[in-house]
């Protein structure tokens, strides 16, 4: 008898898993508690995969041999609890893709901040160096869909903590951990250690021939690295000392010691800012570890362009520069954005607060921010955090209103920075929608 796999959630991850499971001969059923988007409905129907929307039918779900849970569904959801009570194995899309990837290699990249940029840069370097690879996971298409429809010898995967929660045998050949700061605590019972454990899951199955790339300057990683033993080759990166393996920056010069040793001036990096120097070191070690030549790595680092919604320059109007950093959905991301700014800033903040501690922004806000424009349904915590630091604070309730207010407050030579430090779900569909509405409003000016 065929194994029955039920997939909870019919978004990118769930539909990708359904396509792969169907291709591999499982009996597949997809269940989504809400409406299914037309493009995903079309994919399921065109592949003859049965699904339901707007409900979870227990009689169809609780007879599964395995249940694949989409990363957006929390463990505390009613149907997931029932699956667990019944003792049905829960797995993630990452786990399913890993099971059927064949001999392909995986570079898995996680971390609170920088993982999207590091993933995109690693993919850019690998492709420039001649590797036949795909960028998958949280960025691009789901890894399961890629494995099902267009398998590659190498996958460069951005992996969230949610995706790492439900792995059992998933093992990336190269694991990258950029940093860990408090985020998504609402999903982890407000216990930071639960979130930390999820991040370290990325190395839990690695073996001696694998590599673990991590930031030695991140205090949370270094405090916890001993609690999660790993057997893979450690390749740290740092700005504080010279290393025999990994990468370091000294006197504005990056040195990478991987399969080859090579150097490069940070002034030749396409991406500016200290945080991007860390991202670049991580990407260079990863690319070097799979055998990309040093000349190709240097060329790729110098030609990489910044991502949409991540410190993306939009337009300069009458000397006022507008920057879209909508992907900054936590305080740490906003800290990095402010740290890289060289102009006086009108800062657009706000959205759904995930238990933010804004105190870490105080010094940078004092130093660089002229005014704060709040963009959210409830801005109380932002006023409380910065009311005594910034003289001018205004409330707005749309991207258009925020852009117009910021422009009025700005002078020639200033920058308007959208770096919200919050999730976007109060006023927008997601951070992409928030960034797009911001850019549309800037174009209107």
Q: Are residues 221 and 156 in the same domain?
A: yes
Burial (CB count <10 Å: 0-12, 13-18, 19+), residue 400: middle
Q: What pLDDT does 72 receive? A: 84
Q: Are residues 271 and 404 in the same domain?
A: no
CB 412, CB 318: distance < 8 Å: yes
Q: What pLDDT does 333 receive? A: 82
CB 159, CB 110: distance < 8 Å: yes
Q: What pLDDT does 298 receive? A: 95
Q: Could you write out the DSSP letters of every residue in 154-176?
A: EEEEE--HHHHHT-SS---SEEE
Q: What is the pLDDT of residues 322-361, one digit of tens each?
A: 999 998 888 878 987 898 788 999 999 998 887 778 988 9
Note the helical H segments in 192-306: 192-200, 219-224, 274-289, 294-303
Tell me the whole-structure pTM to 2 decimals.
0.77
Q: Are residues 82 and 123 in the same domain?
A: no
Q: Measured between alpha carbons, how far is 329 from 93 in angstroms, rounded to an integer?
A: 24
Q: Are residues 64 and 143 in the same domain?
A: no
Q: Are residues 145 and 263 in the same domain?
A: yes
Q: Are residues 364 and 241 in the same domain?
A: no
Count of domains forming the chain: 3
Pick from 91, 119, 151: which residue ends a domain?
91
Q: What pLDDT does 138 receive? A: 81
Closest C-alpha to 88, from 201, 4, 205, 17: 4
Q: Are residues 247 and 367 in the same domain?
A: no
Weakly modelled stretches of the chain, pLDDT under 50: none
Sheet holding 320-324, edge to edge: 312-317, 320-324, 415-418, 345-349, 369-375, 392-396
Closest C-alpha to 112, from 342, 332, 375: 332
Identify the helix (H) or strand (E) that includes residue 42.
helix 38-46
Q: What pLDDT does 184 receive? A: 66
Pick from 41, 61, 91: which residue ends a domain?
91
Q: Are residues 101 and 190 in the same domain?
A: yes
Burial (CB count <10 Å: 0-12, 13-18, 19+), residue 228: middle
Backbone angles phi, psi at 398, to 5 degrees: -160, 160
Q: What DSSP state is assigned to residue 423?
A: B
Q: Scanning the structure block, which residue is given the tokens 């422009």? A: 407
Domain harbouring 166, CATH code: 3.40.1190.10
Q: Are residues 121 and 257 in the same domain?
A: yes
pLDDT above 90 as % of the chain? 74
CB 239, CB 248: distance < 8 Å: yes
Q: Are residues 281 and 295 in the same domain?
A: yes
Supply the range of the domain harboring residue 40.
4-91
Domain harbouring 417, CATH code: 3.90.190.20
Q: At what angle do helices 274-289 and 115-128 cross, to 10 degrees?
A: 40
Q: Are residues 114 and 242 in the same domain?
A: yes
Q: Are residues 292 and 339 in the same domain?
A: no
Contacts of residue 383, Cβ cutoff 8 Å, sequence gap at least 6:
374, 393
CB 279, CB 178: distance < 8 Å: yes
């Amino acid at each position: 008898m065929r194994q029955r796999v039920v997939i909870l959630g019919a978004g990118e991850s769930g539909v990708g898993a359904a396509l792969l499971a169907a291709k591999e001969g499982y009996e597949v059923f997809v269940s989504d508690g809400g409406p299914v988007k037309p493009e995903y409905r079309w994919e399921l129907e065109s592949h003859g995969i049965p699904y339901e929307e707007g409900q979870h039918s227990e009689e169809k779900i609780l007879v599964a041999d395995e249940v694949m849970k989409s990363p957006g569904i929390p463990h505390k959801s009613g149907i997931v609890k029932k699956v667990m009570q019944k003792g049905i194995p829960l797995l993630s899309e990452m786990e399913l893709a890993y099971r059927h990837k064949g001999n392909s290699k995986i570079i898995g990249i996680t971390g609170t901040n920088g993982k999207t940029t590091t993933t995109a840069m690693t993919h850019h370097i690998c492709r420039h160096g001649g590797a036949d690879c795909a960028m998958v996971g949280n960025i691009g298409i789901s890894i399961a869909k890629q494995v099902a429809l267009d398998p590659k010898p190498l996958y460069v995967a951005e992996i969230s903590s949610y995706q790492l929660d439900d792995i059992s045998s998933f093992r990336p050949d190269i694991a990258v951990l950029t940093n860990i700061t408090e985020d998504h605590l609402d999903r982890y019972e407000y216990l930071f250690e639960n979130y930390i454990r999820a991040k370290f899951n990325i190395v839990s199955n690695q073996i001696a021939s694998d590599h673990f790339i991590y930031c030695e300057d991140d205090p949370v990683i270094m405090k916890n690295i001993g609690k999660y033993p790993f057997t893979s080759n450690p390749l740290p990166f740092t700005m504080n000392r010279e290393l025999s393996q990994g990468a370091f920056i000294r006197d504005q010069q990056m040195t990478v010691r991987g399969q080859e040793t090579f150097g490069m001036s940070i002034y030749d990096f396409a991406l500016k800012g200290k945080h991007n120097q860390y991202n670049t070191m991580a990407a260079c070690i990863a690319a070097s570890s799979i055998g990309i030549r040093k000349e190709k790595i240097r060329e790729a680092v110098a030609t990489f362009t910044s991502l949409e919604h991540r410190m993306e320059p939009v337009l300069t109007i009458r000397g006022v520069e507008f920057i879209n950093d909508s992907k900054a959905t936590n305080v740490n991301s906003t800290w990095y954005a402010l740290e890289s700014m060289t102009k006086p800033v009108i800062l657009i903040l706000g959205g759904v607060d995930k238990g933010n501690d804004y105190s870490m922004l105080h010094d940078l806000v004092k130093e660089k921010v002229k005014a704060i424009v709040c963009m959210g349904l409830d801005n109380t915590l932002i006023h409380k955090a910065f009311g005594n630091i910034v003289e001018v604070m205004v409330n707005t309730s749309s991207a258009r209103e925020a852009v117009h207010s910021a422009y009025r407050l700005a002078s020639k030579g200033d920058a308007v920075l959208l770096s919200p430090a919050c999730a976007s779900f109060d006023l927008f569909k997601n951070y992409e929608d928030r960034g797009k509405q911001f850019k549309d409003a800037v174009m209107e000016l």
